[in-house]
Amino acid sequence: MEVESVQCDEIFAFVGCKEFNNKLHDPELGTQYTYLAVDRKSKLIMSHLIGKRDAKGCDAFMVDLRSRVKGRCQITTDGFQGYLGAVYDAFGANVDFARQAKTYADYGNNPFKDERRYSVGKGCLTVKTDVHIGNPDRSLISTSHVERTNLTVRLFQRRFTRLTLGYSKKLANLKHSVALFIAHFNFCRVHSAHKQTPAMSAELTNHVWTIEEILNSTI
């Protein structure tokens, strides 16, 4: 589909146990990130991927996003370094790409640092914007919309609720649950921003889908 601006971010979660308890370094346990790519205008979740927050994960995520975008678009990601090579490898020079890095309060060097920095703290301290490819529209460089989508994911997905026993025990269960949520979010849930489903706003459908349609579809 043709889009003007895509925002990308990741949501922290864990499977089975916290990473520091993943003694065997099983790639399907411990810290897992859900990558999301959101169309700024329609709010459609265009692409997602669940995996580690590393270069391999970024590469796979951007390759999938590229397969869903027609022509040139603008992409804004957070400050994670892995996006630098991943965006260029997937899009080449046919993209306008910027990163918006936010600095949050430091929780120090302790085993809980990665998990605690996603809890309520002192908030965002600084925001730094860097242009890496092309000539992106400065007014569209933002991750605010995808961060708001992250909140919706956490609100309606028990597996992302912090400090509970609702976390996924198997990676496959997390992947299936997120896929179902995104299908419902895109096609069944009317978004408050434009009073349509994201799929309707993106002109992928002309009506609000029912749960039955989702279950019988091949998307």
Which tens digits make up the pLDDT trace of 136-147? 999 999 999 999
Domains, in order of start, for the chain:
5-216 (3.30.420.10)
Helix (H) or strand (E) holding 186: helix 171-187
For residues 30-49, give the mean pLDDT: 98
DSSP string across 164-185? SS-SBSSHHHHHHHHHHHHHHH
Strand partners, 129: 100
For residues 103-115, give the mean pLDDT: 61
Q: Model pTM?
A: 0.89
* pLDDT band, residue 108 (cuts 50/70/90): low
Residue corresponding to tokens 């630098």: 84
Which tens digits make up the pLDDT trace of 120-179? 555 778 889 999 999 999 999 999 999 999 999 999 999 998 888 999 999 999 999 999
Which tens digits make up the pLDDT trace of 70-103? 999 999 999 999 999 999 999 999 999 999 998 8
Query: What gap in Å lies between CA 138 and CA 2, rounded to an integer?
Result: 20
Which of 115, 124, 193, 112 is closest to 152 using CA atoms?
193
Helix (H) or strand (E) holding 14: strand 5-15
